[in-house]
Chain A
Amino acid sequence: MSSRVQWNKKGLSLVIGYVLLIAISIVMSIIVYSWLKTYVPKETLKCPEGTSLFIKEIEYTCTPGKETLNVTVKNNGKFSINGYFIHVSNKSGEELPTIDISSRILVGGKISGNSIVFSESINYLTPDEPTNVRMSSFNVTGYGQLYKIEIIPIRIQEEDNKKRTVSCGDAKVEEVLTCYVECVPDDISVTCGTWTCGQRVNNCGNLVSCPPGCTEPDVCNSLGQCIPPAQCTDTCATYGYECGTWTICGVSTTCGSYGGGCQTGYECNIITGKCVALCGNGVINSGETCDDGNIASGDGCSSSCTIESGFVCSGEPSTCTTVSSCPSYCVSLGYTTGACTNSAGNCQNSGGVYQSGGDQWCTGGEHADTCCCTT
């Protein structure tokens, strides 16, 4: 005889159980998906590697009133380029140009936002000849002297079936600008203005004779006017001449109290008629051991144009560098600059071993307790 235990099998319906389970799973999945989907990395819109732009030629004219910048770029890479962002700097030594000159374009492209595009055709500048070079000209009047230019190429690329402008920061190019001053003797009216005689200094610092000049017996006065000699009262002081021989009121006149010359240490500027100090003109004159183009002391070349202690100077204008007073054994270990100070018995690092920052050879070693050099 066997005994049989009969359990009550009734409970949660299988269908309800499944429905609940599926419903919970769906709800949870939707929530988790909507949360996590933003973390799924998407392909970033960026220029392909191999995009490269090369500044082939720059012509920077900084004649006052006619400042222009002509930039010729060449596609030096493997992919076509649509245009570029262009920035310049007008501060010497500024590392990052930030002045956007795209709105100043004259020829060679058109403005699109804050960028220049070469043509209506998308990605016009192809890597292939002859369409891989493009010259653009910019009017840069009003910015003052420019020192640096930066160009960031841009491309048009597709993303989600939409065309987008892509900045190619990795293909950025920079160039230092050198100013070309166009002298204007060929356009004398700019220099002479209302003057009809005499000489004026043009924008390049050269003397320009103003036409048509005077007919005898008239002479030219300091205002560039032809007048009878009797009415001319000009002297050296009228022109501010301190030296030299000049034609004043039609008469050759020697100016200054040094017979047309200047006192010792000065020379006569034949353009301005002023005595200018020889020290600071960038040329090593008699009595000078250096001339770095300024009269400041402390930069290696003193205000009297002699080499300062601890420096060596060479060239015209002179370039001065500090002399390392470190002994050769310190120099050989990397202490190429800095002063050598006597710190015997006052060292912090152990000697005999290279210690960056100082205390070289202070204790122990061949040169124990001699000195230590600072970098």
Chain B
Amino acid sequence: MVKKFRKKEGLSPIITTVLLIALTIAITAIVFLWFRGMVEEGVTKFGKNIKLVCDDVEFDASYSSGTLNIVNNGNVPIFKVNIKIARDGNYQTKDIKELSGGTSWPDTGLAQGGTFSGDIGSDIVNADSVSVLPVLIGTSARGKKTFICGGQYGKEIAL
């Protein structure tokens, strides 16, 4: 009987194990840091991602004779609103507090049933359209953070 033995020398099992463990730890650490960044960036409100909370925002907005009126009908407090003004093919978005008539916007926002009325007529002269976008405040790992709900949650007001 002839018995053939292959050469057994190669990477030592110990080194292989150490390498594998080191590699695993490194990859895990990288993935962990990557995900942790995403988790920390995530803003939540009422235990939900704030993007989902935008779905629950209910408010009415109207404009007449230069006065913008807003009523929060829903159950999500509206921290601020942004006013998107379209003019001559361009548009700009302004914080309500940047507008001359927006200084009376309450610092704590509009709670349930809260109302706002301000004269913004001089800020939207010659505007083609004006939309009101709700801004919510939520919490993230880095503290309180505001979030502007997308255009689909805004309301275009008739000028």
Residues of A within 8 A of B (CB): 1-8, 10-13, 16, 20, 24, 27-28, 31-32, 34-35, 38-39, 41-42, 44-46, 85, 87, 89, 91, 93-100, 113-115, 150, 152, 154, 165-167, 169, 172
Q: Is the CB of A12 within 8 A of B38?
A: no
Q: Is the CB of B74 within 8 A of A99?
A: no
Which residue of chain B has the shortest Cβ distance to A42 in the bound complex?
B48
Q: Is the CB of A114 within 8 A of B113?
A: yes
Complex-state Cα separation, A5 to B5, whole angstroms: 7
5 A/B residue pairs, CB under 8 Å, sorted by A: A16-B21, A20-B24, A35-B38, A38-B52, A167-B74
Q: Give the secondary structure class of B's interface.
A: mixed
Q: Is the CB of A6 within 8 A of B113?
A: no
B99 at the interface (CB under 8 A from A): no
Q: Is the CB of A5 within 8 A of B6?
A: yes
Residue from the list B3, B28, B75 in contact with A45, Cβ < 8 A: B75
Q: What's the nearest-Cβ distance from chain B to residue A317, in Å?
A: 23
Q: Which residues of B contact A42 (CB under 8 A)?
A: 46-48
Complex-state Cα separation, A134 to B64, whole angstroms: 33
Residue from the list B32, B67, B112 in contact with A94, Cβ < 8 A: B67
Q: What's the nearest-Cβ distance from chain A to residue B26, in Å?
A: 12
Q: Is the CB of A41 within 8 A of B52?
A: yes
Which residue of chain B has the shortest Cβ distance to A2 in the bound complex?
B1
Complex-state Cα separation, A167 to B75, whole angstroms: 6
Q: Is the CB of A87 within 8 A of B115?
A: yes
**Given A38-B48, A114-B113, are A169 and B73 also a contact pair (CB < 8 Å)?**
yes
Q: What's the nearest-Cβ distance from chain A to residue B76, in Å?
A: 9
Q: Which residues of B contact A38 (CB under 8 A)?
A: 42, 44, 47-49, 52
B120 at the interface (CB under 8 A from A): no
Q: Which residues of B contact A89 (CB under 8 A)?
A: 69
Binary CB contact string for chain B from 82 to 118 against chain A (1 if under 8 A, 0 otherwise): 0000000000000000000000000000011111110
Q: Which residues of B contact A27 (CB under 8 A)?
A: 28, 32
